[in-house]
Each structure stands twice: as C-alpha cells, then as structure tokens.
Structure 1
Amino acid sequence: MVKRKELKDNDVEMSGTDPRDIDMVNVDFEWFDPQPIDFHGLKNLLRQLFDNDAQIFDMSALADLILSQPLLGSTVKVDGPESDPYAFLTVLNLQEHKDKPAIKDLTTYLHRKATSTPSLAPLAQLLSQTPVPPIGLILTERLINMPVEIVPPMYTMLQEEIAWAIKDKEPYNFSHYLLVSKTYEEVESKLDNEESRPQKKKKKAGGQAAERFFFHPEDEVLEQHAVCSGSIEYTHKQDDGHSDSKRAFQELGIRTKGSLILFEAGRLEGAVQGMKEYVQPSV
C-alpha cells in the first residue's frame, strides 16, 4: 500500500504575496510516492518537460521506469491519492539503466546536446565515458500555475530517500546529478513585423545574445552550485507562429529551449539549501 508522504500543506510557507492583492483559493497540497495510477499524469508532465523534443523519446517507458522505483521521488496532488499529479520529482540512474532503450536514447540525446554546447563541456566528457558514470538524472516538472514553494520539500524528501536507499545497498550512490529543465528567451513578434509598425524597435539589437529566462525560478539558484549548466536548442524547432502563440499578453513572443544543470553529488545538499532560502527567505 502506498504511504502518504509525511508532509502537509501547512508545512509550506507561501512568501512574497500580499493576500489583499489577489483572490485567495485554499488548496491542500499532498505529497505521495509514485504509484501506478500516476502513469498518464506522469506522461503528460514528461511531455511538457521535454517540450518540442518529447516526440523523440518513449514517454511510456520513462513513466514506467519512474513507477518501478515507488519509494524514490514524489508526486504532488490536491484531490487525494487517486487524482492526477500536479507535479513530480524523481531521479534515474543512467549507469544502472544504461541498457534500457529509453535511457539509451536519452543518454545519446543528452551527450549530443552537451557536445554542441560549449558551457556543457564537462557533461559531454562524463557522458563520453564507457560505461557512463553513476549519474543521477533528475526529472521534475509541474503544472504552470503551481507555486514554487512546493519544490524544496520534494528535493528534501529525495535526499532522505536516496540516503535510505544507499543504506539498503541499492544503486543510488551517485557521482553527479544532472537536472533536465527548460528556459526561454523573448523573440521579436512575427505579427509585429508583418504589421510593419515603425514605432516598435527591436529590443535585442546589435547581435546581442538574448536574455535567458527560467520556467522554474529555482533553477537560477541551482545553477550557482553547478559544475556546468546551459540552455540547449531543441532538435525539433517550431516556426515563428508558435512563438507568437505563447505571447500571453506581452509584446514579445517566446522561444523555449532545454536546460541542463550538472552537480557533483556532494554539492546537491548546498544547492537545495540555497533553493530553500531563495523560495522561503527568512523574515
């Protein structure tokens, strides 16, 4: 029987919001171990995480692999254990599962992207080794309107569960952790160009690199503790119209990219502590 995680919604402090400025909606967040009923919800969140390149991978196999280790990782739900997860976090051992087709495809993809991204050279070197070192691949995603405050508890639980697994001689003694995430950059609207509005000027003039923005704000803190990090171009790119479809009441469109963050295993604890301080700063 799957146990409920020992954490309640009132253990998470929501900060930075004045309740007088918004309409309040009471939501009870509950943390659970991954369970078979989460299969379709996990697939949907994995597709969201890998964005344009989700079609490259066998999402069913990845979801099954996550569910095969039910005592490692968490899901977050609001309507009890039978409901779909609104967020999840887990870790997969790239060395232990190296012969599984889904992990083979994913490792090849990550190596190719790291090799073509100068800032990710240390990751490319690691993934070039035979066999691949015991790298813990962290996969995590949440619905877009989920508060960032739910994230630190998931990482804290994961650290505890990894420590318990190592004591039980299970294969979770990692040399590194690799986090897969997403970033985006703002792009000049195709619609504005077609309308030829002379008063609109390009904000990224002179060939300057576009500014990176984080879908997951905690990633900005995690990168400060990383061996290396960087955004990667998706293999399957969308046309300009797709960027405009994501304007969401703003002047510019957005172009999504993948993001990879590599940690030495010993630095994860400090990274998580930094994330906690960023998300829930002391008053």
Structure 2
Amino acid sequence: MAKRKLQKDENASDDDGNDSDVSMVNVDFDFFAPNPEVDYIAFKRLLMQLFQSDSEILAVHDLADLILSQPAIGSTVKTDGEDGDPYAFLSVVNVHAHQERPCMKAIITYMLEKSTNQPELHNLLQGLLGPEGLKSSNHVGLIVSERVMNIPVELVPPMYRSLAEEIKEAVRQNEAFIFSHYIFLTRTYQLTASQFEELQATASEPTKKKTKPTLPPTGDVPMMNDGVSTYSYHPEDACIQSHSLFTLDYPLTTQQPRDEESLGLDMGGRIMAVPAERFQELVDKMMESHPAS
C-alpha cells in the first residue's frame, strides 16, 4: 500500500501537431517504502546518475543493497504501483554503523580526499569519519537522494518530512539513527558565462527544435570560481545549503578531459554538512519553499 499520493500536472507535447501544441497530463505519484524485491536495479541506476563517472569507485551496487536493507527508512516515488520502477528515492544510512561495508569505506575515503582543499570541512569530516571519529558515539547520517529528470521538486519535501518522522520512530525503537551530523552528497554542473547565455537561449526555443542540453531547474545561487559558475541539479539543494555548516563543490575523480567542442555539461559533485539539530528546520523550510500545489 502506498504511503501517500500526490497528483501533478505535467506538460506533454503533441507529436503530430506543431511546436506550440502542448497539453497537460495528470500524473498520480505514489510514495512507497523501499522494496528490496523490485527496486534494486532502479536504485543502482539512480545512484550511478548521482555519482556519475565516480559511481564505480563508490561501490554503488553495495550502497543500493544497504539502502534496501532498511525498508522502514526512506521513500520512493512511483507511478505504476508498488511493483513499478521508482522514479525517485530518499533515504539515510548510518555511516558509523556500516563503516565496514565496501560502499561506506569508499565514500568515507572519497569525502576525506575531496575535502582536503577546504580545511574547515576537512577537519570536521576528519573528526567525524577519521580513525578516531569512527570510534565515537557521534554518528553521521549520510542522506542519499536522486530522481529522474522532470520529476517535480514538490515531491521532495514530503519525502524529507517522512524521513524525519521515520528517524524519530527508529530512535524510539532504539535503532542506530541518532546522529550528530547529516552529510549530503549531490551532483552539480558548471557553466561559463557564454555557456549560460547559450543554454538560456536554447531553453526559450520551441520544444521540438531543441538539439542542445537545457538547463536543469535549480534554485541555488551559483558558486563562482575563475569565471565558471557551479549550479546544483536540484532546487531543494538551496535549502540544504542554507542550513549547512560547510559546502564544497568538487571535480569528479574519473571525469574525461573536455574542451569547448565537447557535448553536454561539465559535471561535478557537492558535499554539504548539516548539524542534526538543524535537520527539522531544514525540512520545514523545504516544505515552505516547495509546497505541493
């Protein structure tokens, strides 16, 4: 049985009509608990999308198994019932409790290596996830979330609200979900000023005439470095960033060299560290910023 339902209107173009002939299609989105019987392949695919070319070194197959091993925590979004493929998911895993798993070992090493250029964040992560930190009672919750393109952001706040409630219930059941901090890993893209102007122009073209990548929807303030702006793929990341102690944008480890003629967008990742006492405030702000219509 679905946790809850949300109906959204989505644009649909008429393939037999002209470029301006656009209709609205009602789509029912249902929220379900993670289902280890049917969700593994879709979870792995979404995790590969989240971590992009670094997904192999982060053992996403093991991370998918880990998330699905705790079906009482987290949510998926589906349109074809519980046995359908999830189009989005959100969950949290206890890094300390699962530190011996291949995915957690890889992610810990990855975050510590990526954060070396930002001493304040690195010191925080070293204290939490270094050899001594992993022996501490101050556990870290790794928030893992991804969705396919065009899934509306309004679906995300209800998942976070449920996650906050599920964490509280798990704590009442004496499960290992008491955290001092939450770490968020998300994906980004980079644009020069000229690329931004070109993609903005592309976004205004009729749907059928678009041959170049379009701008993903985002609500965050771009972070600039050497004339290049970094944007988040997901609008809700702006809420997370506003509650984060530190935010770090980093290049992918295995990214292929690119030049001005390369297709697509320059990809990257982002780490955000949020104190546990700010998590409910973050959820409330997200509900306010992206209400379901």
> Does TM-score exceed 0.5, indicating one fold?
yes
Contact 1:29 1:77 in 2 (8 A): yes
Of residues 131, 151, 155, the one that matches 1:150 is 155
TM-score (norm 1): 0.81
Alpha-carbon separation, structure 2, partners of 1:53 and 1:43: 13
Q: What's the CA shift for 1:124?
A: 4.1
Alpha-carbon separation, structure 2, partners of 1:281 and 1:151: 10
Q: What's the CA shift for 1:239?
A: 2.5
* Counterpart check, 1:8 vs 2:5: yes
Q: What's the CA shift for 1:242?
A: 9.5
Could you give the per-residue CA deviations for residues 146-196 of structure 1, whole angstroms, max 9, x where no partner exists? 10000000000000000000000000001110011011111467xx9xxxx
Q: What's the CA shift for 1:13?
A: 9.7
Task: Return 117-126 or 148-157, whichever deviates more.
Answer: 117-126
Alpha-carbon separation, structure 2, partners of 1:117 and 1:168: 37
Q: What are the residue-to-residue correspondences of 1:33-52 with 2, within 5 Å?
A: 33-36=33-36, 37-52=38-53
Contact 1:115 1:124 in 2 (8 A): no
Q: Secondary structure at the match of 1:232?
A: strand
Of residues 139, 142, 146, the one that matches 1:141 is 146
TM-score (norm 2): 0.79
* Counterpart check, 1:75 vs 2:76: yes
What does residue 257 of structure 1 align with?
268
Which protein is richer in strand relative to its size?
2
What does residue 177 of structure 2 align with?
172
Q: What are the residue-to-residue correspondences of 1:184-203 with 2, within 5 Å?
A: 184-187=189-192
What does residue 282 of structure 2 align with?
271
For structure 2, the 5+ residue unaligned runs are 11-19, 199-224
Gap change, CA 1:104 and 1:243, over 3 Å in 2: farther
What does residue 91 of structure 2 align with?
90
Could you give the per-residue CA deviations for residues 59-106 of structure 1, whole angstroms, max 9, x where no partner exists? 221111011101000110011111110000000100000111221111
What does residue 244 of structure 2 align with?
226
* Counterpart check, 1:216 vs 2:234: yes
Contact 2:128 2:139 in 1 (8 A): no
Root mean square deviation, CA, Å: 2.5
Alpha-carbon separation, structure 2, partners of 1:147 and 1:164: 28
Q: What's the CA shift for 1:118?
A: 4.3
Alpha-carbon separation, structure 2, partners of 1:243 and 1:236: 20
Contact 2:182 2:275 in 1 (8 A): yes
For structure 1, the 5+ residue unaligned runs are 15-19, 193-206, 247-253
Deviation beyond 6 Å, 4+ runs, structure 1: none
Task: Return 165-174 or 119-128, whichever deviates more.
Answer: 119-128
